[in-house]
């Protein structure tokens, strides 16, 4: 899978996408993550990517021309499944979307900045808008890193133990059960007895009950959804 991230702040994306599972997926050649500096597609000496808003409101707007040039250049190299714009207006990212995106070959993610982008980009060049939650970030880079991280870890082979993706929270709309490691007793805070029992069927049953209970208590709207679909 290839992900091209178009940004005015390439440095912001370096560290988040160079560690742990994402780094390993890149090293193994499972994910080719390419950071594209939008300023490389400007033509003026100052490498301008933004301008004042028509209508006089405060806040700079990202110009259509460099964005169009960057996307057109990338599209001349290969076909893309989606051209994503990171925006608080978009569909809110969830595990289902991450699963779907992880099956794609090539993605472009355009990071928003300043007050936003010229609306014609959204009308003519973007195929999907994704938000990472109902709050406003300074720019789309952290959102692009979040999207890339949760997608790349799902590519088959990215994780050493594929089982661990299947048992993630949200994979079946349930929160994950509590997990523990040694010591079994720390300052009198004990690991639940059942996990030490070696009885796999009983452990599975306990974990399922814990998942249901935690989902009902912590995310009642998710729980309603599961009950509705059951
Ligand atoms: N850009 C600014 N805020 C954002 C958000 N919540 N999600 C995605 N992109 C954003």
Residues 185 and 97 in one domain: no
Q: Kindly state if the Cβ of 230 falls inside 6 Å of ligand 1.
A: no
Q: Kindly state if the Cβ of 183 falls inside 6 Å of ligand 1.
A: no
pLDDT tens-digit profile of 46-66? 999 999 999 989 999 999 999
Domain total in the chain = 2
Look up the domain containing 220 and give its range: 169-229
- The pLDDT score that the predictor gives to residue 163 is 57
Cα-based distances in Å from 60 to 67, 85, 121: 15, 17, 15
Pocket test for ligand 1, best of 5, 91, 140 (most atoms within 8 A of CB): 140
- The pLDDT score that the predictor gives to residue 172 is 81
* Residue 158 falls inside a structural domain: no
pTM: 0.94
Q: Kindly state if the Cβ of 136 falls inside 6 Å of ligand 1.
A: yes
If one counts every other C-beta atom within 10 angstroms of the C-beta of residue 212, the result is 16
Distance between CA atoms of residues 76 and 206, nearest Å? 53
Residues 194 and 124 in one domain: no
* Residue 199 falls inside a structural domain: yes
Band (104; pLDDT cuts 50, 70, 90): very high
Percent of the chain with pLDDT over 90: 89
* Residue 159 falls inside a structural domain: no
Question: pLDDT at residue 10 above 80?
Answer: yes
Cα-based distances in Å from 124 to 39, 67, 83, 146: 21, 11, 11, 25
* Residue 98 falls inside a structural domain: yes
- The pLDDT score that the predictor gives to residue 182 is 96
pLDDT tens-digit profile of 118-147? 999 999 999 999 999 999 999 999 999 999
Pocket test for ligand 1, best of 9, 87, 113 (most atoms within 8 A of CB): 87
Name the residue at shortest CA distance from atom 2 of ligand 1. Answer: 137
Nearest to 170 by CA among 78, 59, 96: 96
* Residue 44 falls inside a structural domain: yes
Residues 173 and 209 in one domain: yes
If one counts every other C-beta atom within 10 angstroms of the C-beta of residue 163, the result is 8
* Residue 164 falls inside a structural domain: no
Instruction: Write the CATH number for 202.
Output: 1.10.1270.20
Residues 206 and 143 in one domain: no
Residues 112 and 203 in one domain: no
Q: Kindly state if the Cβ of 138 falls inside 6 Å of ligand 1.
A: no
- The pLDDT score that the predictor gives to residue 164 is 74
Domain end among 95, 124, 152: 152
Q: Kindly state if the Cβ of 107 falls inside 6 Å of ligand 1.
A: no
Residues 131 and 174 in one domain: no
What separation, in Å, do the N-terminal and C-terminal C-alpha atoms of the chain show? 34
Tell which wins on pLDDT, 172 or 39: 39
Residues 142 and 177 in one domain: no
What's the angle, vertex CA 74, arms to CA 2 and CA 95, rounded to 5?
40
Domain end among 152, 187, 213: 152
């Amino acid at each position: 899978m290839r992900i091209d991230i178009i940004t005015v702040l390439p440095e912001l994306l370096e560290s988040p996408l160079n560690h742990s599972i994402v780094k390993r997926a890149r090293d193994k050649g499972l994910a080719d993550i390419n950071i594209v500096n939008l300023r490389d597609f400007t033509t003026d000496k100052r490498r301008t990517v933004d301008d004042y808003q028509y209508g006089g409101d405060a806040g700079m707007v990202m110009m259509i021309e460099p964005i169009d040039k960057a996307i057109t250049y990338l599209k001349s190299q290969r076909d893309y499944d989606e051209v994503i714009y990171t925006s608080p207006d978009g569909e809110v990212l969830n595990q289902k979307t991450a699963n779907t995106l992880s099956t794609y070959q090539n993605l472009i993610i355009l990071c928003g900045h300043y007050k936003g982008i010229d609306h014609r980009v959204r009308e003519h060049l973007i195929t999907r808008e994704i938000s990472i939650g109902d709050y406003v970030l300074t720019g789309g880079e952290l959102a692009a890193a979040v999207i890339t991280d949760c997608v790349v870890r799902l590519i088959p082979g990215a994780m050493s133990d594929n089982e661990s993706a299947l048992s993630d929270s949200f994979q079946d709309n349930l929160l994950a059960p509590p997990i523990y490691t040694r010591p079994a007793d720390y300052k009198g805070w004990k690991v639940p007895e059942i996990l030490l029992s070696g009885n796999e069927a009983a452990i599975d049953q306990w974990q399922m009950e814990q998942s249901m209970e935690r989902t009902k208590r912590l995310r009642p709207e998710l729980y309603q959804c599961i009950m509705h679909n059951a």
